[in-house]
Structure 1
Amino acid sequence: MRPILLQGHERSLTQIKFNREGDLLFTCSKDQIINVWYTYNGERLGTYEGNNGSVWTVDVDKDSKYMVSGAADNTMRLWQVETGKCLYTWEFPTAVKRVAFSEDDKQVVCITEQRMGHQCAIRVFNINREEGAKQSKEPAHFFNPIGSKATVCAFTNIPNVIVTGHESGKVAQFNVKTGEEIDNNERAHGDTITDLQMSKDRTYFITSSKDKSSRIHDTKSLMVIKTYTTETPLNSAALAPNKPYVLLGGGQDAMSVTTTSLRQGKFETRFWHKVFEEEVGRVKGHFGPINTLAVHPGGIGYASGGEDGFVRMHHFDETYFRAKPYGDYDIED
């Protein structure tokens, strides 16, 4: 697998996201810009400029009409994908760490950081899809999660319910209308949850954590279904559609990178069998921890963004589709 190397960022990557068709890849980083790329040849299609701080998070709707981003300049912005225009900016007291569209793309949830006397807050905004520049300044729903601060979130397949991952390692469900915690699993992880990605039908989701493990949870009960344990802190985890694999990425934190060799640093994308919880392969390449992973929605490839400022886009070889390490198991999504 020869990767396409995307060089469009000067600082470490924070999140990458495919659109629904998988023909575009959106990447954001600490250098204040968001790039969009063609996935088949790695050509840069455009850049979204306007943020005054690290861009922590990005999400795109199903039609690739609007993109939403959250940044360290305490703003969440709505962009027109086609023109690169910033249509609307929401301002908050603290940085925006995570944004996500709802399943019908009519709402956006965002997490703002706990800092300078402000509590961690979760806000849900209704999006005016007809006129992008005319958005409501006030959130439709607003609440402060109790206890440990939330780091990641996503809408579930249950109306008005979001699932969150927290600094303490717990996962929880919240009703966005009332702000109440419906259910939680305090012991989902032993340390900060760094990523949360939903399955295609949103009935289960995968999390990665600094406790060196990744887990699949049932959306409804929050029970842990599968656990993948590694020997390095994980920054991201993704589910491969149509194949029984999960992809994990991480490596030690950036501070201790200079003291370890590439081999020890474990800066590889690791493939684990979803059902048997065994590692089946690794892909090397990055010169630092992998911060974010995304799998092509068609299952034909994946992309990884690293601390080194590079995005590596891989198209799977034919052998990936033929390989059956555990016999004739077909996965249907």
Structure 2
Amino acid sequence: MDKRKVAAPLVCHGHSRPVVDLNYSPVTPDGFFLISASKDSTPMLRNGETGDWIGTFEGHKGAVWSCCLDINALRAASGSADFTAKLWDALTGDVLHSFDHKHIVRACAFSEDTHHLLTGGFEKILRIFDLNRPDAPPREVDNSPGSVRTVAWLHSDQTIISSCSDIGGARLWDLRSGKIVQTLETKSPVTSAEVSQDGRYITTADGSTVKFWDANHFGLVKSYDMPCNVESASLEPKLGNKFIAGGEDMWVRVFDFHTGEEIGCNKGHHGPVHCVRFSPGGESYASGSEDGTIRIWQTGPLNHNENDISENGQTERLKVAADEVTLKIEGFHITEEEKAAEQENIDGFRAAEEGKADAQL
């Protein structure tokens, strides 16, 4: 089977260091949004469809390892090497609360009802903060067998899944008892664990394999060996017929969920891919890399190809960047340097598109 040709991605610049985590919001009345975590200490918020930069969350003093948005995209959270997890107002960029830890915070996740924030990290402790009482001490689940790498909620916030940086497997915790009720066995540490949008599957990546588990009975559904060491995987949310994976070879690969056959391969990053995530509607997916960029790849058929020129002499992609230097969300913190950098990116993009158009004439 021939691998399908994939369109050139939208390239999102802005981070000055590696991008290590990505999280999409569900679809809201204002669209859907994408937040990114980077070792440059500044999470960024973007329009999830176009990749347009909206604003930067400023306040961390160390690398940010994890980020997430709540279901309404009104609040964001991030976990950092500065020993804090922060809760942000996603409309203004203000810090709503800073939760102190005693070591690096590696992972964070909002509960489905958005009332709680789950964190984990080098302390080997899972903490659950009540966002209605942010100053109250968190609930602690402190029997993790290793340093926490990933966390996620499932079963209407009754169960937590976590993985460790130094040992294999993903552990499911019953919050009523605070005990591990099941371990999803893997040979290597799980670097990515995602609960599917419909709640049916848990997708894990553990280096050499991507596995799919029944999220209710915890049995192994499918396991596929990867052509390279992968760090992250994500299942298409609507049809569930394909999944993506990215890792050390800098490629983002697309696979058939039912057979494991590779059906697409996207090259563009200039460093290992640390995170891949499907958009909530499955029409695109994002990848974050060691090269400091985010790339958004389309899954649906193109409205044009690289050589098609619109009536205005520009491709539709130019519309993505043109009007977004100004802030969409009033009051969001932004430095003059970031404005200049974003404008420079847009000017360069415009010049490249005009060059393509001239070449066609």
TM-score w.r.t. the length of structure 1 is 0.83
Which residue identity does 1:107 align to in structure 2? H
Q: How far has the Cα of 1:272 moved from its partner?
A: 1.0
2:254 is aligned with 1:250: no
* Structure 2 SS opposite 1:97: strand
Specify which structure has the higher proportion of helix: 2
Q: How far has the Cα of 1:8 moved from its partner?
A: 0.7
Distance, in Å, in 2 between the alignment partners of 1:40 and 1:278 is 27
Which residue identity does 2:269 align to in structure 1? H
Percent identity between matched residues is 26
| Counterpart residue number, 2:112 | 103
1:40-86 C-alpha deviation (Å, 9 max, x unpaired)? 43321111000000000011111111111100000010000000000
Which residue identity does 1:173 align to in structure 2? L
Q: How far has the Cα of 1:319 moved from its partner?
A: 6.8
| Counterpart residue number, 1:178 | 177
Distance, in Å, in 1 between the alignment partners of 2:41 and 2:149 is 20
1:124-143 matches, cutoff 5 A: 124-128=128-132, 135-139=134-138, 141-143=139-141
Higher RCO (CA < 8 A, seq sep 6+): 2
Q: How far has the Cα of 1:142 moved from its partner?
A: 0.5
> Would the aligned equivalents of 2:202 and 2:213 in 1 still touch at CA under 8 Å?
yes
Q: How far has the Cα of 1:150 moved from its partner?
A: 3.1
* Structure 1 SS opposite 2:51: coil
Distance, in Å, in 1 between the alignment partners of 2:144 and 2:51 is 43
1:205-239 C-alpha deviation (Å, 9 max, x unpaired)? 101112x1111111233221111211322111101
- Structure 2, unmatched stretches of 5+, are 1-6, 304-361
| Counterpart residue number, 2:341 | none
| Counterpart residue number, 2:24 | 18
> Would the aligned equivalents of 1:245 and 1:272 in 2 still touch at CA under 8 Å?
yes
1:235-314 matches, cutoff 5 A: 235-243=231-239, 244-251=241-248, 266-314=249-297
From 153, 156, 161, the counterpart of 2:154: 156
Distance, in Å, in 1 between the alignment partners of 2:26 and 2:264 is 26
Distance, in Å, in 2 between the alignment partners of 1:147 and 1:317 is 42
| Counterpart residue number, 1:218 | 214
* Structure 2 SS opposite 1:25: strand
1:244-294 C-alpha deviation (Å, 9 max, x unpaired)? 00100101xxxxxxxxxxxxxx21111111111221111111111100111
Give the root-mean-square deviation of aligned CA atoms: 1.7
* Structure 2 SS opposite 1:318: coil
> Would the aligned equivalents of 1:90 and 1:137 in 2 still touch at CA under 8 Å?
no
1:17-56 matches, cutoff 5 A: 17-21=23-27, 23-56=32-65
Equivalenced residue count is 292
Q: How far has the Cα of 1:202 moved from its partner?
A: 2.0
Which residue identity does 1:168 align to in structure 2? I
> Would the aligned equivalents of 2:11 and 2:296 in 1 still touch at CA under 8 Å?
yes
Q: How far has the Cα of 1:181 moved from its partner?
A: 1.1
| Counterpart residue number, 1:318 | 301
Q: How far has the Cα of 1:148 moved from its partner?
A: 3.5
Distance, in Å, in 1 between the alignment partners of 2:154 and 2:238 is 21
Q: How far has the Cα of 1:190 moved from its partner?
A: 0.9
Distance, in Å, in 2 between the alignment partners of 1:72 and 1:222 is 32
> Would the aligned equivalents of 1:171 and 1:222 in 2 still touch at CA under 8 Å?
no
Q: How far has the Cα of 1:192 moved from its partner?
A: 1.2
1:96-132 C-alpha deviation (Å, 9 max, x unpaired)? 1110111111111110214xxxxx100111222xxxx
2:227 is aligned with 1:231: yes
Q: Which has the larger radius of gyration?
A: 2
> Would the aligned equivalents of 2:253 and 2:264 in 1 still touch at CA under 8 Å?
yes
Runs of 4+, deviation exceeding 4 Å:
none
* Structure 2 SS opposite 1:231: strand
| Counterpart residue number, 2:335 | none
